[in-house]
Amino acid sequence: MINKLPADDLFEKSSMTFGEHLEELRRALAKAMIWLGIGTALGLLLAERIVKFIETPLKGAITGYYVERAKLSFEEANGVKPSDELAAWMLHNNMQPQRAYVDPFTITDIANPTQPTERQPANQDGKSKSPELDEPEAKSKDKTAEIDQSELVGKLEQNPWKDVDIRRLSELKPFILWQPIPNKLIALTSMEPFMMWMKAGIVAGIIFSSPGIFYHIWQFFAAGLYPHERRYVYWYLPLSLALFFAGVALAFFVIFKLVLQFLIGYTSSLDVEFAPRLNDYMTFAMMLPLGFGLAFQLPIVMLGLHRFGVITAETFLSQWRIAVLVISFLAMILTPADPYSMIGLAVPLIVLYFLGILLCHYMPKGAGFGSAAVDP
């Protein structure tokens, strides 16, 4: 007896023909593109706010980086660590100290132009000698010494090099200046801000339109199922969306901050200026959450392979060690070179792998390619 070979048309025994599957796929893709267009338009309208929102974790990390540098400088100069109140003030006000050296006599000349520029002769006790003034004359002197603010600014804007005296350089005094922490991103070309605006709008559009896109994709799969199987779609569509948003949220609100702290920590130990580039940072900040969201679809992919008879649930369970090894390898090459993102992706995917095995036991297995389908 000759065994009957599988049919050439894999959809011959299914609920839809191959041509009907293609037509349904075309409709699903067209509707998904419409949703993507609507989401992208909304994303472009909010792109500027989205870019500022994505920059927030980096600005916080840069501020922390410069505050840590200031704390190390304070400890080197004083032998003790600064108080927590001082560190909290720098973080809250986004300020950092800078050590500078000033000529005290030049500052005195600018602030009090009516005073003599030469140093006063000293008494025997080492104190500066000044003429005796009664109280009315002192008040009059103070009023004469006051100058208009605009005049002071004008004096500060004058060329400071013309009054430099080499003999007074040895008497420079240390001075602490407080300045804002430079936590701005750098754009090396004029096109970078526009391209980041476009990328932010497109990525946000994908996230905004994901419910509609996922809905039409699942509608495509449901069209090829029998009526008794379509009820599973109403369970797995919300699950697919929940997994996608869970991956995006985990990457942006947890993993992303840990990665920044880890990478900036090495920059702080090298004592170098940290000025991240806009293109590099924004690409990394937008692609990492999107990649996590797509990777979290692992249980849904496993359900699809199980449904079409490609891999059984028993095979998934028996080969779990190999699966863990493959997941760890993919997490290593698909994430930056840091332990937080690798562990943050590998551990959830391993958990989702076993969740997929559990779901496969509740999803009925299909007849497989080339086999006759059964519709009870």
Q: Please list, in sequence order, all residues whose beta carbon lies within 8 angstroms of the beta carbon of residue 66, skipping any fewer than 6 positions away.
A: 96, 181, 182, 183
Predicted confidence (pLDDT) per residue in 297-352, tens digit: 999 888 888 877 788 888 999 999 999 999 999 888 888 777 888 898 999 999 99
> How many Å apart are CA 255 and CA 345, to the nearest integer?
9
- In tens, the pLDDT along 202-220 reads 888 888 998 888 888 887 7
pLDDT of residue 351: 93
Asked if residue 163 has pLDDT above 70, the reply is no
Instruction: Give per-residue pLDDT as tens, 5-47.
Output: 444 443 444 556 667 777 878 888 888 899 999 999 998 998 8
Give pLDDT tens digits for 112-157. Answer: 655 554 544 444 454 444 444 455 554 444 544 444 555 555 555 5
Dist. CA 106–CA 169, nearest whole Å: 11
pTM of the full predicted structure? 0.66
Torsion of CA 26, 32, 38, 42, to 10 degrees: -150
Nearest partner of 221 among 239, 233, 209, judged by Cα:
233
Amino acid identity at 370: G
* Backbone angles phi and psi of 101, in degrees to 5: -125, 135
- The percent of residues in the chain predicted with pLDDT above 90, rounded, is 11
